[in-house]
Structures are given as C-alpha cells and as structure tokens.
Amino acid sequence: MKENTSKKTIKSLPFLLGLLSPYILPILGTAVIGSLTILANTGLLAVSAILICLAALLPPVLDLMPLSAAVRLFGISRGIFRYWERLASHSITFRLLEDLRVWYYRQLLPLTPGGILNKHTKLFKSVTEDLETLQFFYLRVVAAPLVAFITLLSISGILAFLLPGAIPVLWIAGMINGLLMPLFSRHGSKKHGETTLKQELDYRHNLQDFLM
C-alpha cells in the first residue's frame, strides 16, 4: 500500500510539473520578485542596524541622511515587491488549478455517460476538494525552493565582495533549512496525515450512510 502510494506520488510529479511548463517565464519572474522581497527585508534590517548604531554616536544629522533615505527605500520597495510577488504567484496558482480541473473533467466525464453531476454528487465534491489541495503545489513545492535558491545566489554574490569566507556557511545553512528540515517534517507528519485522512474518509462514509 505504501509502495503504491510512493509510486503514484513519483508519477504525479512529472505530470504536475508538465502543467506548469507553459508558465516557465512567469514562474521565473515571480521567483526573482520574491527574491527581491527577501533582499529588501535583509537590506532594511542591515541599514536600520547601522543607522541606530551611528545615531548613538551623535554625529551630524547630514551624515545620517543617506542611511535614513536607504531605510525608506528598502521599506517601500519591500511592500511593492511583496504585493507584486503575491499577485503573480496567485495568478499562476489559479491557472494551475484551472488546468487541473479541466484535465480531471475531461478524464472523468467520458466514463460516466449518464453524467457524474446527477448520480455521484458526493464523490464529485470529494475529488474537487482534493484538487483544491493541489493548488498549493506551486507555492510550496516549486516557488519556495526556487526563491530560496535565487536568494542564496544573490547573497553569495554580495558576500563575495564583503566576506567570502561566509559563503560556505551560508550554503550549509541553506541546505539544512531547505533539504533536511522538510525531510524531518515530512517523516514526522506522514503518520499523522495518514491517520487524519482515514478518519476523514470514515466520517464521510458514516455521514453518507446516515443521510441515506
């Protein structure tokens, strides 16, 4: 049972990635915007810290003006990039969900000449909810790692001029957060997820028997 589930998961990944192939350029653009959002956050924290430290020394006000302008620039750009990234990423998500629904209907309707809507409404609703869950595939499986990779490359380029010795530490920390932590999280939640799914199926089955 578990081996079949793993095989289905492996086979479904190329299919889902294939649905995203028409949106490669928007995906890359959204990833760059997401990376700019993180870099703007990082720049805001760094420049704010420098500004506070220098202000404690009571220098002339004009010496603080460039840093103050930089804080405003990073603060405003962070909001703009975040809004732009959310708008683009959710647009891709809804397109993916639309393609999944169209594919599913085309596969299902020929098998039911009498019409699935009239005979199996509960089954149709259940599968629709499962399709709704796949809307997070792009946001959590594709977009997040891609944004993290572009951000690591950008920060590595900056550190190459400022502190080259910190680049290996940055990539090791990135690999731990990007690879090991998701694996541990998946291993810890797998059993709980299977139990929750079984309870949900039992609940729907009992509810259907009660209503019938």
Task: Render 33-47 in DSSP notation, one character per residue.
Answer: HHHHHHHHHHHHHHH
DSSP alpha helix (H) spans, the chain: 2-20, 24-55, 61-108, 116-119, 121-133, 136-137, 144-162, 166-175, 181-211
How does pLDDT run across 144-196, given as a tens digit for each residue? 889 999 999 999 998 898 889 889 999 998 888 877 777 777 776 666 666 77
139 pLDDT band, cuts 50/70/90, is confident
143, 30 in Cβ contact below 8 A?
yes
What share of the chain has pLDDT > 70, as a percent? 74
Containing H/E element for 164? none
Please choose, from the candidates 44, 40, 137, the residue with its C-alpha nearest in 3D space to the C-alpha of residue 84.
Answer: 40
- pTM, full prediction: 0.75
Using CA atoms, how far residue 107 sits from 13, 23, 100, 128, 201, in Å, is 18, 23, 11, 14, 23
Confidence check: pLDDT of 133 > 90:
no
